[in-house]
């Protein structure tokens, strides 16, 4: 069985997906790490001298960068098993801490908007899913990567609630300047994800949407596990 979990940034995809996979004895892949790995490598190579948007990288000035990013994508892999995968580019592994850096957060939406990059990474994601019982979390799993997944979930929550969660996770007080900056960032990321011409963020027509605003993590996990077990009956 393949379980696709999609949703906007900080909707709980990774936390829920990992726990669902553990409960069911499945493998788990946070597909966003693939895009973060490419972004990390591009930043380290100096390809982004200034902040860029999806509109910027779509322009003629970034044609060579798009080609180079696509080549990086073709050499990217997720190596490991279960819920422990390491992102590898050209044989070089990247530590999780490298992928969570603030500069990666800034540039990854633009990288993820490039059609050729997404096309190249799709094969990696499908390869992981083909290994057996699997949970993949992302933004286009149920619509593009695994449109025939047996169980599709779309997690959603207001930007305000998602920002509060992320701020708390990072040790910032709700209502602080840091919290407000996170909220502004999430709103901007939502707009980019939902309006990009390639694989926009949208719930699959046959996905089960779960609004997580008022639900504890454990309850969301139970709901997803229950939906998955319905499929196997």
- Summarize pLDDT for 70-117 with one digit per residue, the tens: 999 999 999 998 878 999 999 999 998 999 998 998 899 999 999 999
pLDDT score at 52: 86
> Per-domain residue ranges for the chain?
2-224
Pairing mode, strands 84-89 and 92-94: antiparallel
pTM here is 0.93
In the CATH scheme, what architecture does the domain 2-224 have?
A: 3-Layer(aba) Sandwich (3.40)
pLDDT mean across residues, the chain = 94
- More reliable by pLDDT, 232 or 118: 118
Instruction: Report CA dihedral (126, 130, 135, 137) to the nearest 10 degrees.
Output: 0
pLDDT score at 132: 86
Share above pLDDT 70 across residues of the chain, in percent, rounded to a whole number: 100
pLDDT score at 55: 86
Residue 233 — pLDDT band, cuts 50, 70, 90? low
């Amino acid at each position: 069985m393949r379980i696709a979990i999609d949703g906007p940034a900080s909707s709980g995809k990774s936390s829920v997906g990992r726990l669902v996979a553990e409960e069911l004895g499945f493998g788990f892949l946070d597909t966003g790490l693939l895009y973060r790995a490419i972004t990390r490598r591009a930043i380290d190579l100096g390809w982004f001298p200034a902040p860029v948007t999806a509109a910027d990288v779509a322009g003629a000035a970034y044609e060579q960068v798009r080609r180079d990013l696509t080549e990086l994508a073709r050499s990217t892999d997720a190596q490991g098993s279960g819920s422990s995968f390491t992102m590898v580019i050209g044989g070089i592994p990247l530590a999780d801490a490298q992928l969570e850096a603030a500069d990666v957060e800034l540039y990854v939406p633009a990288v993820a908007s490039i059609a050729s990059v997404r096309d190249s990474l799709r094969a990696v994601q499908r390869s992981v899913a083909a290994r057996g019982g699997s949970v993949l979390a992302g933004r286009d799993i149920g619509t593009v990567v695994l449109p025939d997944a047996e169980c599709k979930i779309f997690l959603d929550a207001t930007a305000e609630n998602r920002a509060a969660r992320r701020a708390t996770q990072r040790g910032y007080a709700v209502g602080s300047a840091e919290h407000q900056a996170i909220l502004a960032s999430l709103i901007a990321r939502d707009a980019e994800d939902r309006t990009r011409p390639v694989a926009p963020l949208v719930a699959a027509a046959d996905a089960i949407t779960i609004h997580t605003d008022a639900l504890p993590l454990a309850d969301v996990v139970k709901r997803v596990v229950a939906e998955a077990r319905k499929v196997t009956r």
